[in-house]
Amino acid sequence: MNAGRATVTSLVEWLAAAAATRPDHIAVEAPPAGGMTYAELDLLSDRVRDRLVAMGVVRGDRVGVYARKSIDAYAAMLGAMKAGAAYVPVDYSAPAWRTAYILSDCAVRVAILEAALAASWRDEIAKLGETPATIELQGAGDGSWLHGALDALDAAHGAPVPVADVSVAPSDLAYILYTSGSTGKPKGVMLSHLNATSYVDWCSAVFAPAAEDRFSSHAPFHFDLSILDLYVPLKHAATVVLITADQGKEPAGLAALIADRRLTVWYSTPTILTMLSQYGKMEKHDYGALRYVFFAGEVFPVKHLRAVMERLPGPRYFNLYGPTETNVCTYHEIPATVEPERTAPYPIGRVCEQFQARVVDEDGVDVARGAEGELVMAGPGVMQGYWNLPERTAQAFFVDVTGGRWYRTGDLVTEDAHGVFTYVGRRDRMVKRRGYRIELGEIESGLYKHADIKEAAVVALKDADGGVRIKAFVASSGAALNLIGMKQFCAQVLPSYMSPDAFGFLDALPKTSTDKVDYQRLIAMG
């Protein structure tokens, strides 16, 4: 049974269809907290919709979701879309100033957040302007915390009048995902319902999910991998199993969870799969239910991929490539056996059918087949732009002689005679690590918040496996700096995935003849 295969306008239409056809089927599990059926998830998200509308949310507004990964957060996101708004998920573990900036930048009408975070967040957002209305949860897990928060609001203000789902257009925003920005401030990638549904429809056509599938949700909700995790099972009335941040970092427990929960579809970064194969003691478990393993977000060193496939020989493996601005735009199935002599990473593959792709030079002119150039994309999966950054949006696209609008991925690739793309590297100082796209300039901006740092420069270095290692070079204004102190400071001002792997302490940073930081020399010092 495959529910909701008809063309839809918005993501939440699939929830209504699933609730109608499989009301008692488990829609979402959050081990060990519990689970929720499609009927229950539909009801809870309806309650969120009604309360948001009563609080003044209208079509086109934004609703922030600042809570741990949970059924509560998932229902909040669905309820926001039912109200005609776009949801803005933020990193629960990020510094309060960063979350405040994000929710202020996109002017959320309402923030749904955990009460434990509210005080520090309010202090920070008050510095930036008006504080939005809030729905405060006393915790997050099985959905009961969101019910409790709505019950409290009903008691205080009266139950809201039930309303229908707000009609939206395919071009309306479904969510905004904030990624690292070169100015030191995150930038919001605007994704519409059409962007998302075209991707989900492509996944349906290529991977043929079934209603009895059980999908992993390893990625946090503010990461673009979560779109496949959450909405492909929603379309097919299948089940998604939420994996919390703490569970996702503990390999033995994670390896057991995949087996015990009988997951059929796994999706994560190569870093997580490598961790599982090295430390998960996977030989102790039965993974016979697993049909697909998808990976994305970074290069997968072949020796680690080979080790994973030796421990999990049953499923089909796919490399899914794409920036947040397109989600997945190329894909490549890995052969059942990795050749023992192979050392080069596998290609990122062919263009997904809902896109058109070209490889161009700096002027937007197609390069010769096999030559290196920038991968550019067009199609319904390409973002609308960056929130409140028209100049940055304009820079991200170019218009060709026929009037076609192409998104510049910033990734350098080659294309072979069969239309298969191979990733070469980044065009700028943006890097990918553990699936996150990171602007090195944002790390530098964070380091400059340290009172004793007079100069800071961050470089990305390749390790022996082809991965990325981030090193920060800092010069002190007088007081001595040390490794432990810098690690502690970075934990306060940067998300954990941005924290440098290593530090170099210098009297002064090297400069070029034009008095700019000599990054090439720093890379050589690596």
Is the distance from CB of 257 to CB of 230 less than 8 angstroms? no
- What pLDDT sits at residue 139? 96
Specify the pTM: 0.87
Q: Which residue spans of the chain are classified as CATH 2.30.38.10?
A: 353-426
- What pLDDT sits at residue 514? 46
> Span 429-455, mean pLDDT?
84
Residue with tokens 């003849």: 513
> Span 374-381, mean pLDDT?
97
Residue 5's pLDDT band, with cuts at 50, 70 and 90, is very low
Rounded Cα distance, 433 and 498, in Å: 9
- What pLDDT sits at residue 16? 96
- The letter for the amino acid at 258 is I
Rounded Cα distance, 279 and 250, in Å: 9
Is the distance from CB of 284 to CB of 260 less than 8 angstroms? no
- 432-443 as b/e: b if 16+ CB within 10 A: bbbbbbbbbbbb
Query: Is a pLDDT exceeding 80 seen at residue 274?
Result: yes
Q: Could you say which of 1.10.645.10, 3.40.50.980, 3.20.20.140, 3.30.60.50 is the CATH number of the domain covering 12-248? A: 3.40.50.980
Residue with tokens 């192979």: 342
- The letter for the amino acid at 168 is V
Of 104, 130, 100, the C-alpha closest to 118 is: 100
Rounded Cα distance, 221 and 314, in Å: 28
The two three-digit tokens of residue 497, written as one number = 């995935």
Residue 429's pLDDT band, with cuts at 50, 70 and 90, is confident
**113-122, 221-230, 507-516: least confidently modelled range:** 507-516
**23-27, 81-85, 103-107, 176-180: least confidently modelled range:** 176-180
SS3 content of the chain, % helix, strand, coil (to 5): 35, 25, 40
HEC secondary structure over 198-245? HHHHHHHHHHCCCCCCEEEECCCCCCCCHHHHHHHHHHCCCEEEECCH
Distances (CA, A) of 314 to 234, 290, 337, 341: 25, 7, 11, 22
Query: Is a pLDDT exceeding 50 seen at residue 119?
Result: yes
Tell me phi and psi for residue 291, to 5 degrees: -105, -35
Rounded Cα distance, 95 and 132, in Å: 19
Tens digits of residue pLDDT in 123-162: 999 999 899 999 999 999 999 999 999 999 999 999 999 9
Q: Which residue spans of the chain are classified as CATH 3.30.300.30?
A: 433-525
Q: Could you say which of 3.30.300.30, 3.30.200.20, 3.90.180.10, 3.30.930.10 is the CATH number of the domain covering 433-525? A: 3.30.300.30
Q: Which residues 6+ apart lie within 8 Å of 508 measured at CB?
A: 455, 475
User: Helix 251-260 and helix 270-279: axis angle, to 10°?
Assistant: 100
> Span 346-367, mean pLDDT?
96
Q: Which residue spans of the chain are classified as CATH 3.40.50.980?
A: 12-248
Q: Is 364 helix (H, G, I), strand (E, B) or coil?
A: coil
The pairing of strands 86-89 and 350-351 is unpaired
Arithmetic mean of pLDDT over the chain = 93
**Rg value, the chain, Cα:** 23
Is the distance from CB of 28 to CB of 240 less than 8 angstroms? yes
Q: What is the CATH number of domain 353-426?
A: 2.30.38.10
Higher confidence at residue 231 or residue 448? 231
The two three-digit tokens of residue 294, written as one number = 């998808």
CB atoms inside a 10 Å sphere around CB 120: 14
Task: Please give the share of the chain, as a percent, with pLDDT higher than 90.
Answer: 80
HEC secondary structure over 423-460? EEEECCCEEEECCEEEEHHHHHHHHCCCCCEEEEEEEE
Of 423, 470, 436, the C-alpha closest to 268 is: 436
Query: Is a pLDDT exceeding 80 seen at residue 512?
Result: no
